[in-house]
Structure 1
Amino acid sequence: MSFDVVGFGALNVDKLYNVNKIAHEDEESYITGLSESCGGSAANTIVGLSRLGLNTGFIGKVASDREGTLLLKNLEDENVDTDGVILESDGRSGVVSGFVDRDGQRALYVDPGVNDLIEQDEVQTGYVTGSKVLHMASFVGKFEDKSIKAQKTFLKRIPDDISVSIDPGRLYAERGMDFLEKFLEKTNIILINEAELNLLTEEKYRGNYKGNKTCENGSKILLDYGIDIIAVKRGDKGVYVTDGCRSYFMDAFKVQCVDTTGAGDAFNAGFLYGLINGENIEKSALIGNFVASKCVEECGATDGLPDVYGIAGLVTGFK
């Protein structure tokens, strides 16, 4: 079986606590509600793409526990192929404890569990053969970087006709360009937020741009590494996208924000959907912003994600 998109990343059960405020050091706050859902950055994006009608699969790892059962069932219920998911007999599945305030802002604590225990020989190259896109997101890297090494090895093995997209997240971005360079050598599309871009390119800014940190300058640095398409996610300010020839600042849709969890992953889904369907980067960014706007209107990373009918008017109406 060949896929439109295969995801490779962490699988987590998100336990989201609604709080009156996010407590800082020596502060207290109180919990007003609790919800539980399935997540993981790459998994959220793949679920979004599946809802938009694309044929999807996933590579990851879960344990034989309650959370692992939930995660597998969720992917299956979302029509995501799970033949690439490795089942570990011992250990515990990944869990993220998130605290969301009244404005929808959040603080996350990650227990990676078996997510960080993927061995290089457990990931089969044949699973992605014939796929259009491989989409990767970060692992915590708590256990000797096993899963990160598995990702890097996998990138070396996959056919060159598969486009690679990556959302490095803060976990990979704060390790710097030297760490991410092996990923970038095979990456066609990078999906990154503004703060992560600044972290990732810090050393290059000092040498080339004298501290002038902008989306344009940060993207120029990444373009020098051979990246084809860059999307810089800017929260409620929208997104900056470039392919080195054309560049656009696209405003976010104005909606009532309930929870920002998964908003970046939702953008990734809409943006990749557009590209896979032959849209230019401007229209793809518009679709990404719309999918993200629907995400933040609901609690959790995937509850608000639209299906293909939900974006039909947007796709056909954009000139």
Structure 2
Amino acid sequence: MHASVVGSTHVDFYIRVPKLPRPGETVKGKGFVIKPGGKGANQAVGLGRLGIEVYMIGRIGKDYKDFLISNFTRNNVRTDYVFIDEEVNTGIAFILLSDDGENMIAFEPGTDNRLSQADLEKSEEIIRGSRVLLTQLEIPLETVSTALDIAKRHGVTTVLNPAPVQPLPFKVLEHADVLTPNAVEASMLTGIEVSGVDSALEAGRKLLEKGVGAAVITLGARGSVVVRRTDAYFIPAVRVEPVDTTGAGDAFNAGLAYGLMHGKDLVESVRLASIVAGLKVTKMGAQDGLPWLEELEKEKPWLYDQTKPVRIS
């Protein structure tokens, strides 16, 4: 059994600068790197590194085809359904990182905007054979809706990470077995200001009223709240010394899907997700910092005790 990830694949251009430039100002950089990115790609790589057979379903241009395909292959991600666009360039982001931790980002979605319902129909066979389908919102909402609809018709468990957040129609929400917003996203989707466990519980219940099967609301370093129709739990985050929190949410979603792929229930899957995210933030890079299975198995015993669920409803 395999997993499918439907989502974005980007190329990120990073320049480190002493300070962010003002309008019209030129600032001399002191380091430049090119990295693969995109929430879909990050989550697929997260699953591939954890030993899950995972298919990436996305669209890239000819410009960075070899760079991105080889990266997927190194990270155990199947690329049979990564469509090559002959007309449009791959999505890119230009990121300025200052010494004081601030950033400035310009993003052009490129081929992500062209991942279509037709592409998903071509991928229906691989979606149908999946145990879990994982998707996000860096691709057209119509494409997300099609992916969820195909998965639900074939009894596939669906996980929707609603980032970057936007209003979601009932048809999308009702096809999400698990919705995984962070506090800001949960606030925007429900109108409830999420600032802690109690407000996350309230927002989670509101999301269930809107049609989702279950809600997992992440609260950063505090932990996460799992809200189901029968109960709710708070899962503490693991205690680690963070080095780079970039991609922590993508690591969390990959860890959650990893647990579901192994037949764990949602609460146990969130415990695993917390560990995977915790391991990621101890290393640099949205993808480079994602843990491999060997690391998870080595570190899980002592981190697992830190994630004991507390029933809150």
Q: TM-score, normalised by structure 2?
A: 0.84
Show the counterpart of 2:116: 119
Show the counterpart of 2:202: 217
The answer as to whether partners of 1:4 and 1:133 remain within 8 angstroms in 2 is yes
Show the counterpart of 2:57: 59
Show the counterpart of 1:36: 34
SS of the residue aligned with 2:180?
A: strand
Letter of the 2:146 partner, please give it: T
User: Any gaps of 5 or more consecutive residues in structure 1?
Assistant: 141-146
Q: Provide Cα deviations, 1:102-124, integer angstroms capped at 9, x if missing partner.
A: 57665543211111012322222
How far off is 1:21 after superposition?
Answer: 5.2
Show the counterpart of 1:155: 148
Closer, same or farther: CA 101–271 of 1 in aligned 2, 3 Å: farther
Show the counterpart of 2:265: 280
Letter of the 1:225 partner, please give it: K
What does 1:149-188 correspond to in 2, within 5 Å?
149-158=142-151, 159-170=153-164, 173=165, 175-176=166-167, 179-188=168-177
Closer, same or farther: CA 32–263 of 1 in aligned 2, 3 Å: farther
How far off is 1:271 after superposition?
Answer: 1.7
Once structures 1 and 2 are overlaid, which stretch shifts more, 249-258 or 23-32? 23-32
The answer as to whether partners of 1:258 and 1:298 remain within 8 angstroms in 2 is yes
Letter of the 1:182 partner, please give it: K
How far off is 1:193 after superposition?
Answer: 0.7
How far off is 1:269 after superposition?
Answer: 1.1
Closer, same or farther: CA 225–43 of 1 in aligned 2, 3 Å: same
Closer, same or farther: CA 300–314 of 1 in aligned 2, 3 Å: closer
Letter of the 2:87 partner, please give it: D
Q: Provide Cα deviations, 1:182-205, integer angstroms capped at 9, x if missing partner.
A: 211211011111001101112xx4
Show the counterpart of 1:75: 72
Separation of aligned partners in 1, 2:24 and 2:126 = 49
How far off is 1:13 after superposition?
Answer: 1.0
How far off is 1:255 after superposition?
Answer: 2.9
SS of the residue aligned with 2:130?
A: coil
The answer as to whether partners of 2:174 and 2:213 remain within 8 angstroms in 1 is no
Separation of aligned partners in 2, 1:248 and 1:102 = 39
Separation of aligned partners in 2, 1:102 and 1:252 = 28
The answer as to whether partners of 2:48 and 2:77 remain within 8 angstroms in 1 is yes
Once structures 1 and 2 are overlaid, which stretch shifts more, 189-198 or 257-266? 257-266
Separation of aligned partners in 1, 2:210 and 2:80 = 33
How far off is 1:7 after superposition?
Answer: 0.5
Closer, same or farther: CA 154–304 of 1 in aligned 2, 3 Å: closer
Extract structure 1 runs of 4+ deviating beyond 6 A.
Answer: 23-30
How far off is 1:296 after superposition?
Answer: 2.0
Separation of aligned partners in 1, 2:102 and 2:223 = 16
Separation of aligned partners in 2, 1:195 and 1:241 = 16
Once structures 1 and 2 are overlaid, which stretch shifts more, 269-278 or 82-91? 269-278
From 186, 196, 204, the equivalent of 2:185 is 196
Separation of aligned partners in 1, 2:280 and 2:24 = 32
SS of the residue aligned with 2:170?
A: helix
Q: Provide Cα deviations, 1:129-187, integer angstroms capped at 9, x if missing partner.
A: 211011111126xxxxxx332332333334331011111113xx2x32xx342211211
How far off is 1:224 after superposition?
Answer: 1.6
Closer, same or farther: CA 33–247 of 1 in aligned 2, 3 Å: farther
Closer, same or farther: CA 280–149 of 1 in aligned 2, 3 Å: closer
The answer as to whether partners of 1:105 and 1:260 remain within 8 angstroms in 2 is no
From 254, 259, 263, the equivalent of 2:248 is 263
Letter of the 1:114 partner, please give it: T
The answer as to whether partners of 1:11 and 1:94 remain within 8 angstroms in 2 is yes
Letter of the 1:199 partner, please give it: M
Identity %: 28
Aligned length: 299
Closer, same or farther: CA 257–33 of 1 in aligned 2, 3 Å: farther
Separation of aligned partners in 2, 1:183 and 1:24 = 40
Show the counterpart of 1:144: none
